[in-house]
Amino acid sequence: MSDTKEIYLDNSATTRVFPAVADLMTRVMLETYGNPSSMHHKGVEAEKLLRNAKEIFAGILKCDLKNIYFTSGGTESDNMAIVGAATAAKRRGMHLITTQIEHPAVLNTMKHLESEGYTVTYLPVDSFGLVKLDKLEAAITPETTLVSIMHVNNEIGSMQKIAEIGELIKRCNPDTLFHVDAVQGFGKAAIIPKKMNIDLMSVSSHKIHGPKGMGMLYVGDKVRLNPIVFGGGQQNGLRSGTENMPGIAGMAKAADTLCSKLKEDSEKLYKLKARLIMGALKLEGVQVNGVELNDELKKKLSSGAMDDEAMVMLMEALSKTAPHIVSLSFPGIRAEVMLHTLENDGIYVSAGSACSTHKPEPSATLKAIGLDKSLLDCTLRFSMSVFTTEEEIDKTISVLSDKLPMLQKYTRR
150 scored as a contact of another protein (CB under 8 A): no
Can you point out the beta strands (E) in 264-315? 287-289
- Asked if 358 interacts with another protein (CB under 8 A), we say yes
The sign one gets for the Cα dihedral 70, 43, 59, 30 is negative
Size of residue set near another protein by CB under 8 A: 13
CA distance 288 to 245: 41
Q: Does 336 bind another protein (CB under 8 A)?
A: yes
**Closer Cβ to another protein, 133 or 407, answer by number:** 407
The phi and psi torsions of 296 (rounded to 5 degrees) equal -60, -45
Q: Does 339 bind another protein (CB under 8 A)?
A: yes
- CA atoms of 96 and 376, how far apart (whole Å): 29
Which of these ranges, 144-152, 154-162, 212-220, 334-342, lies near another protein under the rule CB under 8 A? Answer: 334-342
Q: Which of 63, 172, 355, 378 is catalytic?
A: 355
What CA–CA distance (Å, rounded) separates 258 from 208?
7
Q: How far is the CB of 344 from another protein (least distance, A)?
A: 6
Residue 6 found at the interface with another protein (CB under 8 A)? no
- Determine which helix (DSSP H) or strand (DSSP E) holds 196, and give its type and residue range: none
Q: Is 259 a catalytic residue?
A: no
From the list 197, 190, 210, the residue with the least C-alpha distance to 71 is 210
Q: Which is nearer to another protein, 89 or 351 (CB)?
A: 351
Q: Indicate the helix (H) or strand (E) that contains 8.
A: strand 7-8
Choices 125-133, 136-144, 340-348, 389-397; region in contact with another protein by CB under 8 A = 340-348
Burial of 184 (0-12, 13-18, 19+ CB in 10 A): buried
Q: Which of 344, 374, 389, 398 binds another protein (CB under 8 A)?
A: 344
Nearest alpha carbon to residue 124 among 149, 144, 143, 105: 149
Please say which residue, 91 or 409, places its beta carbon nearer to another protein: 409
Instruction: Check residue 341 for interaction with another protein (CB under 8 A).
Output: yes
Q: Does 343 bind another protein (CB under 8 A)?
A: yes
Site for another protein in 171-230 (CB under 8 A): none
145 binds another protein (CB under 8 A): no
Task: Let me know: does 353 contact 379? Beta carbons within 8 Å.
Answer: yes
Residue 413 lies near another protein (rule: CB under 8 A): yes
How far apart CA 163 and CA 238 sit, in angstroms, is: 27
- Residue 399 engages another protein in binding (rule: CB under 8 A): no
2 binds another protein per the rule CB under 8 A: no
Q: Considering the rule CB under 8 A, would residue 19 count as an interface residue with another protein?
A: no
* Residues involved in catalysis: 355
Binding stretches for another protein (CB under 8 A) = 336-341, 343-344, 358, 360, 410, 412-413
